[in-house]
Amino acid sequence: MKREEVLMEAMPYIQRFHGKTIVVKLGGHAMVDPKILDTVIQDIVLLRYVGMNVVVVHGGGPEITQKMEQMGKQPKFVAGLRVTDAETMEIAQMVLVGKINDGIVSLISKFGALGVGLSGNDGNLMFARKAGTRRVMVDDEEHEVDLGLVGDVEKINPGILEVLIGKGYIPVVSPVAIDRAGRSLNVNADTAASEIAIALGAYKLINLSDVDGVMNQTRTRTYQRLQVSEAARLIEDGTIVGGMIPKLEGCIKALMEGVSHAHILNGNRDHSLLLELFTDSGVGTMILRDGDHP
C-alpha cells in the first residue's frame, strides 16, 4: 500500500477517535525490553497528538521478581499467584512506583508529550479491599490460600485523572491501591485498567500483551472479533487459561459497564497500537458487546 493510502485509511478513525479517552494497559516484554517500550510510548504520544486522551496503566511482575531476587528474597507463588507479604509489598512499590512508572513518564517526555506518574494512592485514585482467600489447585488438591497484601478494587475516584487529561497530560498509573485503613495493596494491573476505563467512561480499553490476541485452544488461530458472550464461553470451556483470563475478564466487565470497545493485542509487534486503531483489518482481537459493531 502506498504511503498516502495508509494515511487515507487512517483518517476516518482519527476523526472518530478525536477527543475520546482510551486506557492502555502495558504489560509483558514491553516492561523489560527498552526497544519495545520506546516504540509503544512513541505510539501513545502520537495518539495524544492526534487528539486522543490517553491513560496508561502498567504492570511489572517480572521486574518485581527480579528485584526481590537481587535483594536476597525468594518470591513465593502458589498456583502461579504471587504471595505478597509486607516486605514484598515494599519492594513492589519501589519497582512499580519508583522505577517503572518514572521510566515511562521520562519516555513520554522524551517523545514530546507531558506525562504524570501516579499510584492508586495519589488523590485517593484507587481504593481496594484486601482480597479474601483464594481456592487453588496444588498437586491436584484444592487449597485455601491467603495471598497477603493483594487487593480487589473497591472504588475508583477518577477526578485527578480527569483534571490531568483536561490539562493535556498523559497520566501513568501504577497498580498500587490504598485500603480504608491506609494500607497499600498490590492490585492486578489488568483489573486496575478495566476499573479505571469504566470510571472514566472510556471509549476504548486496550491491553498490550505478549500474544497476538485471544487464540483458540490449539493456538493456531487468533480471533479478530469476539462478542462478549463468545468471550465468556471461551473462558467457561477452558479455551482461555492462565494470564489471559484476567485480561479477557477485565475487557468483558469494562464493556458491560459502558466502555465501547476493548482490544487485546501483541505489544511486541512494532506499532501494533497504531495498526489496531487506524487500519481496517487491525492486528489483534477486538471484543464487543453482543449486537454491537466495530
Domain ranges of the chain: 3-288
The CATH number of 3-288 is: 3.40.1160.10
| pLDDT tens-digit readout, 110-153 | 999 999 999 999 999 999 999 888 776 666 777 788 889 999 99
Cell of 238: 477452558
* Alpha carbon distance 267, 273 (integer Å): 7
% of the chain with per-residue pLDDT over 90: 73
* Residue 24 · residue 273 · CB < 8 Å: yes
Residue that has been written with the C-alpha cell 484476567 in this structure: 246
pLDDT at res. 80: 65
Strand order, beta sheet including 261-266: 115-119, 170-174, 53-58, 21-26, 204-209, 261-266, 285-288, 225-227
Across the range 230-256, mean pLDDT stands at: 91
* Residue 40 · residue 208 · CB < 8 Å: yes
Phi, psi at 244, each rounded to 5°:
-75, -25
Query: What pTM value is reported for the model?
Result: 0.93
pLDDT at res. 218: 79
Q: Which residues pair with 80 in a beta bridge?
A: none
Quick check: 253 pLDDT over 90?
yes
Quick check: 268 pLDDT over 70?
yes
